Amino acid sequence: MWVIDKEIATRARSYKTMIIPVKKIIHIVCFFVSILIILPEILWAQNRYGEYDVFIRAYINFSWDEKDIVVILDKTEKIESTGVKIVRPGRHTIAAFKKDRSLWLKPSYYKVINVEPNDTSDVVISLQHNVWINSEPTGASVFINDRFAGITPLSVILTKSDKLFLQKEGFKRKTLLFKELSTGITTVELCPESKIYVSVNSRKSWIYSTAFLSFAGNVAGFFLKKSAEKAFRNYVNSDNPEKMNFYFSRTKKFDDMSAVCYMAGEISLGISVYLLIKDFQSR
């Protein structure tokens, strides 16, 4: 009996020693399988500060000066404030809405970016605003950052960084910043360049007219001067007192008329040059 019990005990010990290595192998395999399953979640799990605990990470630096806006990252995550946000490397979408608009409407700002690992992408959010512009008088050309947008009155889409220029022939160019515009219709009063408003066609006609008057005045002055010189020669060569008085008066008359014509020609030339310069500046 004792021999049988001893044999059973020996078999039990050998079976036990055989089971222990199998259990260890199973435990090791299960450990590595668990690591492979939960490793991505461990790498990308969010901590209590809302940031990603990652070994390979990327960054987006958000900035905006708008008030009452909602910023959505990747259609799911709401960005509460400006600053650096830790994200996964790769493609990301940023959308911004005004708070008074439903989120299902088209966003006022939308951008798709690709962030490389360990790199920072700067995102400056500037919402688009629909603004109505009119001018007094109407018909002014509107430029957004030197890009032609249309003729007043019109509706334009602006961001806070845009500059608006209004220009009309005969009036000074007007520059407007976004903060100077109202939420409704903005009417801009243009200041004339001078008290007399000169249109494009009338300015050109004035240029041609004054140029012709300048030419005609100088030609007339030249011939009147010649007539005055001829009358003066007759005055010098005459012995008759009556003829001398006649030629002297003609000499003085022609000489005065010549001076007036020359003066009119010079004034017309000056006006013509001035209008020509203004015409080139307005182009």
What residues have CB less than 8 Å from 1, skipping those under 6 apart? none
- Give the three-class secondary structure for 1: coil
Instruction: List, for residues 80-128, the tens digit of each pLDDT value.
Output: 888 898 888 989 999 888 776 555 567 778 889 999 988 888 988 877 7
Q: Which residues of the chain have pLDDT under 70?
A: 1-24, 27, 30-55, 100-105, 182-184, 194-203, 281-283
Per-residue confidence (pLDDT) for residue 50, from 0 to 100:
45
Per-residue confidence (pLDDT) for residue 92, from 0 to 100:
92
Question: Where are the chain's structural domains?
Answer: 1-45, 58-125, 129-189, 200-281
Per-residue confidence (pLDDT) for residue 59, from 0 to 100:
92
Per-residue confidence (pLDDT) for residue 51, from 0 to 100:
47
Q: Which one-letter amino acid corresponds to residue 211?
A: A
Beta-strand (E) ranges in 66-220?
Answer: 69-73, 77-79, 83-87, 90-98, 109-115, 120-125, 129-136, 141-144, 147-151, 154-158, 163-167, 174-177, 185-189
Model confidence, pTM: 0.40
Domain spanning 58-125, CATH class = mainly beta
Asked whether the beta carbons of 148 and 176 are under 8 A apart, the reply is no
Measured between alpha carbons, how far is 32 from 46 in angstroms, rounded to an integer?
A: 23
Per-residue confidence (pLDDT) for residue 53, from 0 to 100:
47
Instruction: List, for residues 1-27, the tens digit of each pLDDT value.
Output: 444 455 555 555 554 554 456 566 776
The encoded tokens of residue 114 equal 């690709």
